[in-house]
């Protein structure tokens, strides 16, 4: 019987040195899991599957440096990701896909737990994973039943850094489609500034009036800050009666 050699693996002649590094990082992950790796190492490991022929260690560090954090990387727009050296179309698409899948899973988990939205804080917790680190403004609607249990949550529109388009007729039509008896709307301010604009107040009044016409409860409109830092509730501030 031939005994297996106990000598450590050596890189083949002309073989890129990062190949062995990849194998070691994969082995570490198998042993210690997500909790045992640093943020850049997790991103590095993930990029193995999108960038097969380059050393992704420095690429992952560069991404985190550019966007400030691991969360910032996954909140970045595709075009912004592509501006980072060695991040091409495929890698940028891969990172955006991972973010989208994560948001979908979080949404499904929340709905399966029959998430109940009774307060502004409940709504913030419900959407924290999906909206905390966005670099563009996003407008979402959460549809609930008579017990305020979430029926559906969807993005109505996306915009540039400080504005987005809202279509009240579309929102009410969707509420009727889902047989919702209540709605909550949320949008983020990527700048982190939480005070509502005049346009925010006007669209809220329009939505409240439209909901009342259809006997749908308009429960709240929230503005979320960046990275989960604070929120503004129209109801808590007396702007919705």
Domain boundaries, given as residue ranges, for the chain: 18-102, 116-233
Do the Cβ atoms of 196 and 166 come closer than 8 Å? Answer: no
Domain 18-102 has CATH 3.30.70.360: no
Give the total residue count for the chain.
Answer: 241
Whole-model pTM: value is 0.58
Q: Please report which confidence band the pLDDT of residue 1 belongs to, taking 50, 70 and 90 as the band edges.
A: very low
pLDDT per residue as tens digits for the range 193-204:
899 999 999 999
How many other CB atoms are found less than 10 A from the CB of residue 47? 22
**Residue 201 and residue 204: Cα distance in Å, rounded?**
5
Q: Name the β-bridge partners of 224.
A: 188, 231
- Cα separation values, 233 from 6, 39, 54, 215, 241, Å: 64, 33, 47, 22, 12
Per-residue model confidence as pLDDT tens digits over 113-149: 668 898 999 999 888 777 877 878 889 999 999 999 9
CA nearest to 68, candidates 132, 144, 14: 132
Class for the domain spanning 116-233: alpha beta
């Amino acid at each position: 019987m031939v005994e297996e050699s106990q000598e450590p693996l050596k890189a083949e002649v002309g073989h890129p040195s990062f190949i062995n590094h990849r194998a070691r990082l994969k082995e570490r992950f198998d042993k210690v899991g997500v909790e045992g790796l640093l943020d850049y190492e997790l991103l590095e490991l993930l990029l193995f599957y999108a960038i097969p022929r380059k050393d992704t260690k420095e690429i992952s560090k560069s991404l985190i440096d550019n966007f400030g954090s691991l969360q910032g990387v996954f909140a970045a727009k595709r075009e912004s990701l592509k501006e980072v050296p060695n991040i091409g179309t495929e890698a940028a698409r891969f990172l955006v896909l991972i973010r989208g899948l994560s948001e979908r899973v979080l949404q499904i988990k929340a709905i399966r737990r029959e998430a109940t939205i009774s307060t502004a804080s409940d709504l913030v917790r419900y959407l924290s994973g999906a909206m905390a680190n966005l670099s563009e403004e996003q407008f979402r609607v959460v549809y609930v039943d008579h017990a305020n249990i979430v029926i559906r949550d969807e993005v109505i529109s996306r915009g540039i850094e400080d504005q987005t388009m809202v279509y009240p007729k579309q929102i009410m039509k969707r509420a009727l489609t889902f047989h919702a008896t209540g709605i909550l709307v949320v949008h983020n301010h990527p700048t982190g500034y939480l005070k509502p604009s005049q346009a925010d107040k006007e669209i809220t009044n329009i939505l409240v009036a439209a909901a009342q016409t259809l006997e749908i409860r308009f429960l709240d409109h929230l503005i979320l800050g960046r990275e989960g830092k604070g929120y503004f509730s129209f109801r808590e501030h007396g702007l919705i009666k």
